[in-house]
Amino acid sequence: MEKLPKIGLPIIIVIVILIVVIAKSAITIGSGEAGVLYKTFDNGVVTDEPALGEGFHIVAPWNKVYVYEVRQQEILEKMNVLSSNGLDIKLEASVWFQPAFESLGKLHQEKSEMYKERVLLPAIRSAARSVVGRYTPEQLYSSKRDAIQQEIFEETQKIVKDQYIQLNEVLVRDVTLPPTIKDAIERKLKQEQESLEYEFRLVTAAKEAEKVIIEAQGKADANRILSASLNDQILRDKGIEATVKLSESPNSKTIIIGSGESGLPIILGNQ
């Protein structure tokens, strides 16, 4: 009976040690994350094996696991850039990105967990300054927003393509011009719109006038053709037809006496 406590104590110690080792060795990778394994006694960061995926993992307690978010992320960046004529422009851009999963070990080894600050943000700033410097404030304010957005994306892509970062999209959220420049551009655009509206009215009026002239010419041509086709005999026959219809009317009492000029009857009545 006295030997049981002496035997039980080492067992308890071993169990405690196992619990501590398991606790230190157990790693759980969450949803949308991946782990980079660092082997303390074997060349450090593991770059020739896939990163640890989601779920439960057991690693040696003397090794470390660095957890990265590998789903799409967003960075909102506000910066001051210069236009082609040297004016200060405030640009607000949103960048969608994620680390390249298959190169996560190399990203950690070469760029570290600070890769966004060390690589991505400098890249987007450099690309934005390069692209915006090609355009005037008028182009930035009006028609070139989509083109600028695409060009910034392409320029940033060139910089980060070999940096183990997957760039998904660059969105230009806002372009802010100096107030005096903005007011001048708005006045110019308003004047251009009014000029276009006036030109449209002139073109519309000219088309309406042309339409009236064509219709009048058509009526004149029709009357000329009709006049050329009429002769005395046709007019006389038409007059007789009209006189007969009038004499048959219940509202008229007619007396036909002789004939008038051009051979048409003379109609006398009490109405």
Tell whether 188 is covered by a domain: no
Tell whether 213 is covered by a domain: no
Residues of the chain with pLDDT under 50: 1, 3-4, 255, 257-258, 270-271
pLDDT at 271: 47
Tell whether 208 is covered by a domain: no
Tell whether 54 is covered by a domain: yes
Shared domain check, 159 and 118? yes
pLDDT at 257: 46
Q: Are 166 and 97 in contact (CB under 8 A)?
A: yes
Shared domain check, 92 and 58? no
Dmax of the chain from CA atoms?
A: 166
pLDDT at 202: 76
Tell whether 216 is covered by a domain: no
Q: Are 45 and 92 in contact (CB under 8 A)?
A: no
Amino acid at 100: A
One DSSP character per residue, 115-166 reads: HIIIIIHHHHHHHHHHHHTTS-HHHHHTTTHHHHHHHHHHHHHHHHTTTTEE
- Identify the domain boundary among 46, 69, 92: 69
Q: Is 260 exposed, middle or buried (0-12, 13-18, 19+ CB in 10 A)?
A: exposed
CATH number of the domain where residue 166 is located:
3.30.479.30
Closest CA to 151 of 128, 173, 121: 128
Shared domain check, 146 and 104? yes
Q: What is the pLDDT of residues 129-188, one digit of tens each?
A: 999 888 888 777 766 778 889 999 999 999 998 999 999 999 998 888 877 765 666 566
Shared domain check, 153 and 79? yes
What is the tally of structural domains in the chain? 3
The pTM score is 0.61
pLDDT at 8: 66
Shared domain check, 157 and 89? yes
pLDDT at 177: 82
Shared domain check, 173 and 77? yes
pLDDT at 108: 95
Tell whether 50 is covered by a domain: yes
State the residue range of the domain holding 254: 238-268
Shared domain check, 151 and 126? yes
Shared domain check, 83 and 46? no
Shared domain check, 77 and 63? no
Tell whether 203 is covered by a domain: no
Shared domain check, 29 and 11? yes
Tell whether 161 is covered by a domain: yes
pLDDT at 234: 63
